[in-house]
Amino acid sequence: MAHTDHVTGLEPRGELEAFLARHDAATPLAMVMCDVVGLKEINERDGFLAGDACLRRAADSLRAAAPDAAIRARLGGDELVAIFTGPAAATAANHVAAGLTATPEPRLRTAATVRQPGESNGAFIERLYATVRRS
């Protein structure tokens, strides 16, 4: 039985990390992240059940936008990711990021990045976080 995040239904972070560990640094990978804007305020104003519902809608948007992703996972509290592999990975991730930015509700801050040759998985994720913060 596959493990899934209990709120979003996406793969949990551990599955994401295992996926990355199975793909060496030579494998072309691109990752798109969406960050739910204002989740903390929703939790404080409307309660955690409302926040969870918001996260589920964001996960539904990610699933719909990235049906061909190799994996879709919850990276952290309000960060959801999809990873694409192969030669068209960067194009796919950029397309998904652009589409998610247009999602009206919940509002998502998105970014995509490509793993650099020889880059560690941790550095890849940290660079993606930095890219999202700049968006």
Considering the domain 13-134 in this protein, what is its CATH number? Answer: 3.30.70.270
pLDDT of residue 1: 43
Domain ranges of the chain: 13-134
Tens digit of pLDDT at every position of the chain (135 positions): 458 999 999 999 999 999 999 987 778 899 999 999 999 999 999 999 999 999 999 999 999 999 999 999 999 889 999 999 999 999 999 999 999 987 778 999 999 999 998 888 889 899 998 988 887
Among 84, 64, 47, 48, smallest CA distance to 9 is for 64
pLDDT of residue 2: 58
Question: Rounded distance, CA 104 to CA 114, Å?
Answer: 26
Three-state DSSP state, 48: helix
For the whole model, what pTM was predicted? 0.91
